[in-house]
Structure formats: C-alpha cells, structure tokens
Amino acid sequence: MKKGIKISVISLIVAVLGAGLIAYAAEIVITPPCEMHTYSVDSINSDYVIYKCVDCGAEEIKTKDELSVMWNVIYVNKSPKPIDIDNSSYLDLHKDNIINAKDYAIINMR
Ligand SMILES: [Zn+2]
C-alpha cells in the first residue's frame, strides 16, 4: 500500500515535470535563418553599424569604412535589396527605404 502511494507520487512528479518541459519547449520559437537576409539598421555609432535581418533577426556588423567601400552611385534613388542581390540593404542608414544623400552623410559622420 505504502509502496503504491510512493510510486504514484513519483509518477505524478514525473508527469508534472514532463508537462512543464513540453510547455517550455512549445514557448521556444525557433526562427530558422532565411536564405537571403534583408538587413535593417538596428543601431549606429561613430565607427560601425549593427544590422538585423527583417526576416529572421540575424545580426551583422559593418564598420563605416566597409560601408564607404560599398557605397556606389548605382544604388542611389533605389530601394534596398536582399544581400544576395547587392549590398544596398547595408546602405539605407536613414531607414527611409531609399538610398540617397542622407545615407551617404551618415556613413561619413564620424
Ligand atoms: Zn535573414
């Protein structure tokens, strides 16, 4: 009798822990990295820019020197594209969905 109670208490604990684990696992939302990131500026300081992918949240950092090298007039007056197409999604620093002189000014602000 006593042994039976002990076993049922143990199995109850195991069941509760198991249910907790399932509930915990259900709360973890895993966003798989997308195939082509589209970066949006997360923060800018004097030396570098931190980006986050708008689709999967992946982070990337570029220095302003790297952005200076990437800058090209072919991007001007166009909206940013995913990074498998070109570097334009790194260059919309003003976040107005168009690459223009405001972005160029931010790259050169140090
Ligand atoms: Zn992504």
Ligand 1 mean position, distance from CA 8 (Å)? 48
Are 5 and 48 in the same domain? no
- When pLDDT is averaged across residues 63-69 and rounded to a whole number, the result is 97
Domain count, the chain: 2
> Of 102, 82, 84, whose CA–CA distance to 92 is shortest?
102
Are 45 and 70 in the same domain? yes
pLDDT classification of 93: cutoffs 50, 70, 90: very high
User: What strands lie across the sheet with 39-44, from one edge to the other?
Assistant: 39-44, 48-53, 59-63
Residues forming beta bridges with residue 40, ordered by sequence position: 52
Are 70 and 22 in the same domain? no
At 28-45, the pLDDT tens digits run 767 778 888 989 999 999
Ligand 1 mean position, distance from CA 52 (Å)? 8
Q: Which domain holds residue 56?
A: 39-107
Ligand 1 mean position, distance from CA 5 (Å)? 53
pLDDT at 36: 87
Are 25 and 45 in the same domain? no
At 94-108, the pLDDT tens digits run 999 999 999 999 999
DSSP state of 52: E
Ligand 1 mean position, distance from CA 29 (Å)? 15
Are 25 and 49 in the same domain? no
Are 68 and 98 in the same domain? yes
User: Is the pTM of the predicted complex or chain greater than 0.75?
Assistant: no
* HEC sequence for 44-71: ECCCEEEEEECCCCCEEEEEHHHHHHHC
